[in-house]
Amino acid sequence: MWLSVSLAGAATFTASLDKDTITLGESATLSLTFAGATPQGVPSLPAIAGLQVSYIGPSTQVSFINGQTSTTVTHNFAVTPTQDGEFTIPALQAEVAGEKLTTQALKLKVLKPGAPPPQAIASGQQLAFLKLVLPKKEVYVGELMTGQIELYLHERIRNIGGFQITAFPADGFTVGQWKEGQQRREQIGNSVYTVIPLSFPVRAIKTGSFNIGPVTASLVADLPSANRPRDLIEQFMFGGVERKPLSLATDAEPMKSLPLPAQGVPPGFNGAVGEYTMNVTAGPTNVSSGDPITVKVAISGRGALDSITLPDQPAWHEFKTFPPTSKVEMTDALGTQGVKTFEQIIVPENAEIKELPPISFSYFDPEQKDYRTLTQPAIRLVVKPGGSTPAPVMATAPRTAPENAPPAQDIVHIKPRLGQLAQIGPPLVERHWFLALQSVPLLAFVSSLVLRKRAEMLANNPRLRRQRQVAQLVHEGLHKMRALAAGKKSEEFFAALFRLLQEQLGERLDLPASSITEAVVDEHLRKGAVSEKTLTALQEIFQACNLARYAPVQSSQELVAMIPKFEDLLRELQRMKA
Amino acid sequence: MNLATKEYKEHKAGVVLALAAILLALCPSRVMADDLSAAFQSANKLYEENKFAEAASAYQKLVESGKASSALYFNLGNALFKAGQIGRAIVAYREAEQLAPRDPDVRANLQFARNQAQGPTLPPSRWHHWLGRLTINEWTMLASGTIWAWLMLLAVLQWRPAWKQAMRGWVAGLAGAAGLFCLCLAASLYESHAEKTVIVVARDVIVRHGPLDESQTSFTAQDGAELRVLDQKDEWLEVSDGGSRLGWLRRDKVVAAPGV
């Protein structure tokens, strides 16, 4: 209902171009706008000779004005000319809700791109211009050369931004990524220009006559403002510069791409064009038949290294060959020079092979305008009849196959005996018991090391050694004393007791055991080295020993009762600081 | 006298009983070995009668019994090869190679089968070839033996320091050998466990750019091609021929290769 009202009101269909004049290589945008109505689909455009039209997409705008809604739908198309001239986009018709709407016809002027005339350049008044520099006018198909675009910027240009090459027509050639070179300054007329060279690789892919360019580019140049800034804020924000978009173009350069000569094509030539050298290595050279040999072929030089392939080597028929692997290492930023290394595994199939046959690589040298063949001399090989060399009669022949056995024609026959059976299971290294067993030598070594260290420590510490000897002596002596007490051998009991006391005191006081007497003890222990209680107990023991010499104790219980007292005393003495 | 005779008789009876127990314990394995040997001969007979597929399945049943020998895998490989299954034959030969890595017959037939495999395949690596001269267990025993000898020598030298000067070369040599053998063992285990290789067991297997039946063809692998596994997804494996070719193929078209 609303649509019908709207249509009845003011449905319009208009066409517009964002630019009516463009340079060949640029594009214009054609907008078809439906106001007050929504079309059913995308309107179709008729084919226009010299123009390529591609759909970009729609955009919709809805607006409310005084409570009324209006809708505008715009379909955008990119219009790219393929030639220069003046073109007319005819009036277009569209049917919206049964009503036929028509646009007006549009005109588009396409200018031929080109460099400014030489006089303009020579005057030094040109703000910026481009030059296309190609080293040759004639190349061979497959030949790689380095071209250059030189961007000249007048000294008035303070800075540039948004530089982009908008078109680089190069039919019959492939153009690689450009790299910026070293800037230089050049005087033209009375002006000084900054020259920025942009180098790029170009490779001929078709034969015939072609044009490279005109190359077009756009940039925004910062120029000193013609008007003085009104205030400091404007000076700060805009810096007193004026931004000027510039479109630049070079002239087209005619190029001739020649076919490779049909005469003198070497056998094995597979299309490599450039200047190359070759280096071949192979190893190992002493092998058994069936063992792999790695052949490395390094082709270095200038040309399209990426597309080089290792030619077939018909002389390798006695080897099993595997597909080669390759890697390219470029030595310049443009990728026109470098080394391509092929690594190929070959397997000698019999022991008669004495050498790796010569390896050849042919290429066309565009500078010399002739084919060249690089040949690596044969590499001497020693091929032994290895275990993996199949022999036709191996099933019946003894293991020692004759030297130079011919290649196998069939597999070795089946084995008549089952042989030694093995349980299918994990390898030893994954079995727990085996891993545990490996700790045995380690434990043996660690134990030996600890024991030796301990022995060394004792050997270097006589006091510690004596301490341990006395401890052992006391331990054994107490056992002996218990036996003597049980046997009522009073005299031997006290002799043993006195000797143990001498040993323990001698060790503590660092004196010979035989020198320990009651007087010595008094002299050394009175100084507060032991408690009064210990000293008293010690005196009692000494007195008991003295008494026993003249009045031996007869009772076993009395002797046994002395042992704990003696043990307590020994403990006290052992606690005493040595 | 009577008492001594009785003791002697009791001792003799004990020995007899112990021997009987050992024999009884050994008997089942002896019987089993005899059975396997008989089944092996039957499979050999099928092979000699040119019934290669039947022979292959007879050998396969023996393998599935849990015990195997190099000869069994070798003959299985031969039967499979003659039956036209190059990929499966290569798998069997590689199993045989694991048990008897220096058997010239096994190496010859494995090489012969590999030569018959067409198309892209992993190139033989010298490192793999060199490690494969010994089984993992043999590398293990070498590494373990040298470590034992080295540590025991060090233990002895703790108590015989006078020998240290004379044995210095032995200590260094054994340490070096132990380190080298341990490295070889580690490399062997790495090749066996980490480096997954599969062998194509079907003809004209399409290797695709992606793990989908709709994906574009990358290359075609032939029966017997050995490929390295890079990744896996559901029923698909990403494989490479060791060079520039890689792609995805279905798991059911390949068999995992035995390790070194």
**Distance between B109 CA and the closest CA of chain A, angstroms:** 5
Give the 3-state secondary structure of A383-396: EECCCCCCCCCCCC
Query: Which segments in chain A show pLDDT lower than 70?
Result: 1-10, 25, 226-239, 386-409, 424, 527-529, 551-554, 578
Longest CA–CA span in chain B (Å) reads 96
Chain B residue with the nearest C-alpha to that of A287: B126
What's the pLDDT score for residue A399? 35
DSSP element (H, E) containing A62: strand A51-65
Residues 162-201 of B with CB under 8 A from A: 185, 189
Percent of chain A with pLDDT over 70: 89
Strand partners, A216: A167, A249
What's the pLDDT score for residue A391? 33
**Distance between A416 CA and the closest CA of chain B, angstroms:** 7
What's the pLDDT score for residue B19? 62
What's the pLDDT score for residue A395? 31
Work out whether strand A21-23 and strand A106-111 pair parallel, antiparallel, or are unpaired: parallel
What's the pLDDT score for residue A4? 36
Q: CA dist A346 to A45, A311, A411, B240, Å? A: 62, 15, 21, 19
Say yes or no: B152 contacts chain A, CB-CB below 8 A.
yes
What's the pLDDT score for residue A222? 86
Q: What ipTM describes this predicted complex?
A: 0.75
Asked if B151 and A449 come within 8 Å (Cβ–Cβ), the reply is: no
Going B28 to B30 to B36 to B38, the CA torsion angle's sign is negative
Asked if A394 and B121 come within 8 Å (Cβ–Cβ), the reply is: no
Asked if A419 and B155 come within 8 Å (Cβ–Cβ), the reply is: no
Asked if B244 and A429 come within 8 Å (Cβ–Cβ), the reply is: no
Average pLDDT, chain A: 82
Chain B residue with the nearest C-alpha to that of A438: B144
What's the pLDDT score for residue A227? 64
Phi-psi region of B20 (alpha: psi -120 to 50; beta: other; left: phi over 0): alpha
Q: Locate tokens 């060949």: which residue?
A: A24
What's the pLDDT score for residue B146? 95
d(CA A433, CA A316): 52
CB A353 within 8 A of CB A379: no
Query: Which segments in chain B show pLDDT lower than 70?
Result: 1-33, 259-260
Cβ-Cβ contacts under 8 Å, B136 against chain A: 427-429
Cβ-Cβ contacts under 8 Å, A417 against chain B: 71
List, as own/partner pairs, every contact residues A94-97 make where C-beta atoms lie below 8 angstroms and the sequence separation is at least 24, other chains included: A94/A13, A94/A32, A94/A34, A94/A39, A94/A43, A95/A40, A96/A7, A96/A11, A96/A13, A96/A34, A96/A37, A96/A38, A96/A39, A96/A40, A97/A3, A97/A4, A97/A7, A97/A11, A97/A37
| pLDDT tens by residue, A235-293 | 555 557 787 778 888 888 899 999 999 888 888 888 889 999 998 888 888 887 777 78
What's the pLDDT score for residue A418? 86
Cβ-Cβ contacts under 8 Å, A428 against chain B: 136-137, 140-141
